[in-house]
Structure 1
């Protein structure tokens, strides 16, 4: 027994973290922000300066109330590190461009490899230029810029960036169009190693946009804002492009990408033209959500002919409807698909009754006759709704769980000291009014919390009712546990509200008694 206790004492006394080699400790610490790492360094004398030898440092301005404080911290840390450090910088704050420029230059001077800059709302609703001097780096590999167009504030590159090591660029809510020169800025031409480009919710002006890059392999265009101009064209010229996604982008899209292997096109209408051969194309997801127009049928047939090498083809039901209008277009056409392995048909508009979830024999023959061994999957609107409802129910249950966990923290009781009640009439009156106000506030906040919980429960329950039996059975146990937990939290909130109300009522009654005594003392 004694020997066992000795062994347990020895195990408890061992500092296993400090016994790890330096390189392993640095690897563990590199997964945290550098501010947390420095704070944790006080836990061990051996850790005190180990962060200075870390190869990867992660900074985030979100940990600071002011951008200027973040700049001072950045200067202090980077001045203590060697120049071989790899820096990840998450910069988010109200715009004071001189400070931003100083931070960027400082980070680039220490070989920053990953940078995220998010612009917070600006009361002046200005367009914030990002001058060339901000983006000259030989080390930066991953860059993400996020503007805030909802408040009328934009980030806008005003000249070509010199980022030869850049491989990944993600722009969200960035203005690509320069009103002064009336054209889009070609800011990536000197990013010679760029492989992946994402433009999300960016403003491209009226005169179109050309994306031309010899090394680009992945391109995503989503919700590119533009004024209504039928001549607005997006040109994509990328000889090494392999994966292309165009989602909810207005205007015409003209693509030259001979090495393309995967294409996702989801738009309101069919506005896609491919001007290169597609011998390497293996996977296509083609979707339109507006009611198809007959004049688009010829364009669709031309596209499908170009997709003849594809193995995995996904079409929206609206595309099938377009192929059927009129059927004479395909009645004497051979199937273009000779390598097809899988064909999937799904409704994009799952609440739209105009399109029947059926496919005529003529359309089926046109799509499958060239590949008789290909599998066909017809996804119904009911299936789509079930997937949507299940995902929504999962999200709402996660939201409910978070809300219930927040209400599990100890509740504070405002137990006033009854022996220190006001003695003069004016203060007694103020105290009585305060009691009324506190009662109203407590009841209001308590009611809001309880209603939020009940509303989520009701919404989730309604979604589960509509799910298929198997999916409902899978999710029901978790919902039952949440319901029990919610009942306990609601009862706890109610009891707390009642207790607080009783305390205030007691204080209120005593104040009324004091008021009566004061009134009687006047006579």
Structure 2
């Protein structure tokens, strides 16, 4: 029995080893690069395989000290096959980075035409060099703890960028002029801003001639700032875990899917003026999104409409086909007041399909 088990195991190992390099690269791309390098001890087949993998992922939590982590990252970059470009590169470092380390990493990425870049680091005083901003190969960028100060001139370059995800971001722009940080990203198609706080300006402008999806999560825009969304081909908009935002009234002729799941602190409901102010901001935002055909609203969003002291504006959704209401289990909220249902559905001639989803 032990021999038979050994033969079966050997057969399985050989079958895996016989796969083409590109298939093995794809399998290894789901594993942290530290463990990918360790596969070199498995057999001759894997001895140098890690040197040609195009996707690299480094996480400092897999090391006892940040010093060893940085040394490992640089060793891998120095010893890999330099004729192979980098497709995806992910760097997660919980300790403070230093200029020398990041400069070496960025130089290597730029010279090897990185396409998808993910940086979860504490930037400190480090500034992104112009050669990275001007790198035309980058079409996907994820950055954490982002501040505009790390960019030359506080503006994005990345002219080839198609997908951008910024999290834990702070913008403080002391000017009455519109703040339009992504205007140079003319090819941007997907934009996600998560855990962000913006202050100090009157207009936060998103210029996206090719922008298709725009997602905001836990997004705070300090008063009296407003968002101006210039995106003629935008089809999908999502706002979750945020208070209603003040939007400038603009045309979004292609908007199709809207997901609004706002979160309003309890103090907003303590007085009639506060409740009405929040309701006005929400309904004004709906006017910007009025051409949407598929709309999803949370119970918290619906409650703002229900509690508006002075009623609601005329229904904005003229082309609505389906309305989904996401309710929480145990909330006695299935019965929607007539004035709220009229606000949501009447402009579409009550032809809308209404779906209620109860979540535990």
Same fold (TM over 0.5): yes
Instruction: Indicate the structure with greater strand content.
Output: 2
Residue ranges of structure 1 left out of the alignment (5+ in a row): 270-288, 389-523
Is 1:238 the counterpart of 2:231? The answer is yes
**1:267–1:182 Cα change, 3 Å:** same
Is 1:321 the counterpart of 2:306? The answer is yes
Q: Give the alignment of 1:360-375 within 5 angstroms.
A: 360=338, 363-364=341-342, 367=345, 371=349, 374-375=352-353
Q: Which has the higher contact order (CA 8 A, sep 6+)?
A: 2
1:114 equivalent in structure 2: 116
Is 1:211 the counterpart of 2:189? The answer is no
2:216 equivalent in structure 1: 221
Is 1:104 the counterpart of 2:106? The answer is yes
1:195 equivalent in structure 2: 189
SS of 1:205's equivalent in the other structure is strand
2:130 equivalent in structure 1: 132
2:143 equivalent in structure 1: 145
C-alpha separation in 2, matches of 1:193 and 1:88: 21
How far residue 207 of structure 1 moved from its aligned partner, in angstroms, is 0.8
How far residue 48 of structure 1 moved from its aligned partner, in angstroms, is 0.8
8 Å contact kept, 1:222–1:249: no
1:40 equivalent in structure 2: 39
8 Å contact kept, 1:115–1:140: yes
**1:48–1:200 Cα change, 3 Å:** same
2:151 equivalent in structure 1: 157
Residue ranges of structure 2 left out of the alignment (5+ in a row): none
2:293 equivalent in structure 1: 310
SS of 1:200's equivalent in the other structure is strand
**1:249–1:5 Cα change, 3 Å:** closer
C-alpha separation in 1, matches of 2:277 and 2:59: 53
C-alpha separation in 2, matches of 1:172 and 1:42: 38
Question: Deviation digits for residues 176-202 of structure 1, max 9, x if unmatched?
Answer: 3356x7878644333332111111222
C-alpha separation in 1, matches of 2:344 and 2:7: 76
Among candidates 139, 162, 171, match of residue 166 of structure 2: 171
8 Å contact kept, 1:241–1:259: yes
C-alpha separation in 2, matches of 1:301 and 1:250: 9
8 Å contact kept, 1:113–1:140: yes
SS of 1:173's equivalent in the other structure is strand
**1:310–1:185 Cα change, 3 Å:** closer
C-alpha separation in 1, matches of 2:254 and 2:47: 52
How far residue 44 of structure 1 moved from its aligned partner, in angstroms, is 0.3
State TM-score, norm by structure 2: 0.74
SS of 1:201's equivalent in the other structure is strand
8 Å contact kept, 2:187–2:210: yes
C-alpha separation in 1, matches of 2:349 and 2:29: 52
C-alpha separation in 2, matches of 1:295 and 1:9: 68
**1:309–1:378 Cα change, 3 Å:** closer
SS of 1:111's equivalent in the other structure is coil
| Structure with the greater alpha carbon radius of gyration | 1
Q: Give the alignment of 1:240-279 within 5 angstroms.
A: 240-247=233-240, 248-249=242-243, 252-254=246-248, 255-267=250-262
8 Å contact kept, 1:130–1:155: no
**1:262–1:115 Cα change, 3 Å:** same
1:435 equivalent in structure 2: none
C-alpha separation in 1, matches of 2:343 and 2:219: 37
Length, aligned pairs only: 342
8 Å contact kept, 1:87–1:107: no
C-alpha separation in 2, matches of 1:215 and 1:323: 36
Q: What's the Cα RMSD here?
A: 4.4
How far residue 166 of structure 1 moved from its aligned partner, in angstroms, is 1.8
**1:71–1:189 Cα change, 3 Å:** farther
How far residue 115 of structure 1 moved from its aligned partner, in angstroms, is 2.1
8 Å contact kept, 1:87–1:110: no
C-alpha separation in 1, matches of 2:139 and 2:37: 26
Question: Deviation digits for residues 72-117 of structure 1, max 9, x if unmatched?
Answer: 4344333431243424222324334412233222222222222222
8 Å contact kept, 1:341–1:371: no
C-alpha separation in 2, matches of 1:55 and 1:45: 20
8 Å contact kept, 1:128–1:154: no
8 Å contact kept, 1:183–1:205: no
**1:340–1:169 Cα change, 3 Å:** closer
